A and B are shown apart, each in its own frame.
Chain A
C-alpha cells in the first residue's frame, strides 16, 4: 500500500514540477496524434460526406470495409507497416521505420475509418427534407451538399473526437513502427508500457494520469458537442 502511495506522490511531483522528460513525451504524443488526426479528417470528412451523399455501385463494400477498419487491431496495422517500411520491404527505401512519420501513418490508418464512417453516418442521419428545402430555395447541387454537411456538423466533430480518442490511447502500432526511442519516438503510451516493465512506476503513473486527463477532456468535448447537436426544446414534435 505504501508503495502505491509513494508512486502516486512521485507521479504528482513529476507533473507539478513540469518534468522535462515528461513534457517532451507529452508534446510528441500530441504532435503525432494531432497530425495523424488532421490528415484523417482532411481525407476522411470529404470521403465520408461523399459516401453519405452519393449512391454508387460498390458503396456497401466500402462501408463494410470502413466498419471493419474501425475495429482494426493496432498491432496488425503496426505489423503491416513494419513489413512495408523495413529495409527488405517494398517501401524500405523511404527509411521511415522508427520515425515519428511512421507513427503518424500508423495512427492515420487507425483514425481514418472512424472519421470517415462516423461522418457518413452523420450525413445519412440528416433529415431528407433538409436537402429538398435547400434545393427549393435555389441551392446548386454543391450548395445542397454543403448544407447537408453543415447540418451534420455535430456528428462529424464527434467522429473526429472519437478518432482522437482512438489514436491517443493506442500503443501497439506505434510501438512496432516507432521503436520507442527516447527523445525521438517515445510517446505516452509506449513509455507507460516500457517504464512499467522496468518497475519505474512514478513516470508510468504520471503519464497514466496525464492520459486519463486527456481522455477525460476528449469525453467532455464529445458530450458537449453531442448535446449542442440536439436542439433545446422541439416543442411541437
Chain B
C-alpha cells in the first residue's frame, strides 16, 4: 500500500502572524520533495503539521490509501510515517540499539532485527560504530544514524527536517549519496525541509519554494 498526503487549506498563525496561509498541496507516492525557503518561512512548521506532530489552526491533513480513502490518525498511520529532527534525538544506548528501536517496539524477532539493523547500518556506513554509545557520534554520524533509524522500519513517508544542518561537507556528501540510493530504491516518499539549494537540487524530484506561507509555483 502506498500513501498519498493531502494538505488542504492549511493555516498556522503564531503571535497573530500567519506562518502558513491557506496552503494546499498533494504529495504523491514515492517521490522526493525538497521544500526550500529562508529561515522562518514555515518549512519546519509545515513538516510537523504534515507529520501530525502539530495541529494546523485551520485546514486539514489527510493521508489517503491506494483506493484514495482517508486513513484514521491512529497508531497504524503513525507507524507508516516517520520524522528525522534537525538535532537527532539520541537514546543513551548503542548505535545498534538506537537503530533497532522502531523494530523492537513493533515486536520483530531478534534474528530479524539483527539482520535488518546490520543491513541498514552498512547502508549508511556506520557498521563499524554499532557497539559505540550513540551519544558519542559526531553530528554528521548522528544524522546518518537518524536516517538509518527511520528507514529500517520501512516507512511509507519519511520527513527529513534540515538533514544537512550542523553537518560537515564530507557528511553532507554521504547523506546525499544515501538519499539518492533511497530515491533509486523508490520505497518511500521523502519530504525534506532544507535551506541548502545545491542539496535540494541534487536529491529532490520536486523542489517547492515556501515563501510568505505559500508555495511559489
> Interface on A for B, CB 8 Å cutoff?
127, 129-130, 132-140, 143, 147, 150-151, 229, 231-236
Closest to A234 in B: B135
Chain B nearest CB, measured from A232 CB (Å): 6
Q: How far is the CA of A140 from the CA of B82 in the complex (A)?
A: 14
Given known pairs A136-B53, A136-B83, the reply for A232 and B153 (CB within 8 Å) is no
* In the complex, chain B residues whose CB is within 8 Å of the CB of A138: 75, 78-79, 82, 102, 105-106, 153
Does B181 touch A at the CB level, under 8 Å? no
Q: Is B101's CB under 8 angstroms from A137's CB? A: yes
Cβ-defined contact, A137 with B166, below 8 A = no
Supplied contacts A132-B85, A235-B136, 9 more A-B pairs, CB within 8 Å: A132-B83, A136-B51, A136-B83, A138-B78, A150-B91, A151-B91, A231-B136, A234-B135, A234-B136
> Would you call B82 and A137 a contact (CB within 8 A)?
yes
Q: Given A137-B149, A139-B105, A236 and B82 touching (CB < 8 A)?
A: no
Q: What does the 1/0 interface line of B18-36 toward A look like (CB < 8 Å)?
A: 0000000000000000000
Binary contact track B77-92/A, C-beta < 8 Å → 1, others 0: 0110111110111011
**B135 contact set on A, CB distance < 8 A:** 231, 234
> Does the CB pair B133–A231 fall under 8 Å?
yes
* Identity of the chain A residue whose Cβ is nearest the Cβ of B84 in the assembled complex: A136
Q: Is the CB of A129 within 8 A of B105?
A: no
- Which B residues touch A140, using CB under 8 A? 75, 105
A130 touches B89 (CB 8 A): yes
B142 in contact (CB, < 8 A): yes
When chains A and B are docked, how far (Å) is the Cα of A136 from the Cα of B166? 21
- Minimum CB–CB distance from A236 to chain B (whole Å) comes to 4
A-B contact pairs, 10 of them (CB 8 A): A127-B89, A132-B83, A132-B89, A134-B105, A136-B78, A136-B83, A136-B84, A138-B82, A138-B102, A140-B75
Min CB distance, B156 to chain A, in Å?
A: 12
* CB-based contact B138/A236 at 8 Å: yes
Is B139's beta carbon under 8 Å from chain A? yes
Interface residues in B, total, Cβ within 8 A: 30
Contacting pair A129 B53 (CB below 8 A): no
- Known A129-B87, A137-B153, A138-B75; judge A232-B136 contact (CB<8 A): yes
CA distance A151 to B135 in the complex (A): 12
Cβ-defined contact, A133 with B85, below 8 A: yes
- Residues of B23-71 at the interface with A, using a CB-CB cut-off of 8 Å, are 51, 53
By CB atoms of chain A within 10 A, which of B75, B92, B137, B138 has the most? B92
Known contacts being A132-B53, A137-B105, is A233 close to B89, with CB within 8 Å?
Answer: no
Q: Roughly how many angstroms separate A236 CA and B140 CA in the complex, as a whole number?
A: 9
Q: What separation, in Å, do the CA atoms of A229 and B133 have in the docked complex?
A: 11
Given the complex, which residues of B lie within 8 Å of A133, measured CB to CB? 85, 88-89, 91
Which residues from chain A contact B85 at a C-beta distance below 8 Å? 129, 132-133, 136
In the complex, which residue of chain B has the Cβ closest to the Cβ of A233?
Answer: B136
Residues of A within 8 A of B137 (CB): 235-236
Compute how far the CA of A150 lies from the CA of B82 in the bound complex, rounded to whole angstroms: 21
Q: How near does chain B come to A221, taking the closest CB pair, in angstroms?
A: 19
Q: Kindly state the separation between the CA atoms of A186 and B67 in the bound complex, as whole angstroms.
A: 75
**How far in angstroms is the closest Cβ of chain A from B215?**
24
Chain B residue nearest to A150 (CB atoms) is B91
Q: Which residues of B contact A127 (CB under 8 A)?
A: 89
Minimum CB–CB distance from A157 to chain B (whole Å) comes to: 13
Evaluate contact between B101 and A231: CB separation under 8 angstroms: no
Given known contacts A134-B101, A137-B102, A147 and B91 CB-to-CB distance under 8 angstroms: yes
Set of chain A residues within 8 Å of B166, measured between Cβ atoms: 236
Those 10 A-B pairs whose CB atoms lie nearest each other, nearest first: A133-B89, A231-B135, A129-B89, A138-B79, A136-B83, A236-B139, A137-B102, A143-B105, A139-B105, A236-B138
B133→A232 contact, CB < 8 A: yes
* A4 CB, min distance to chain B CBs, angstroms: 48
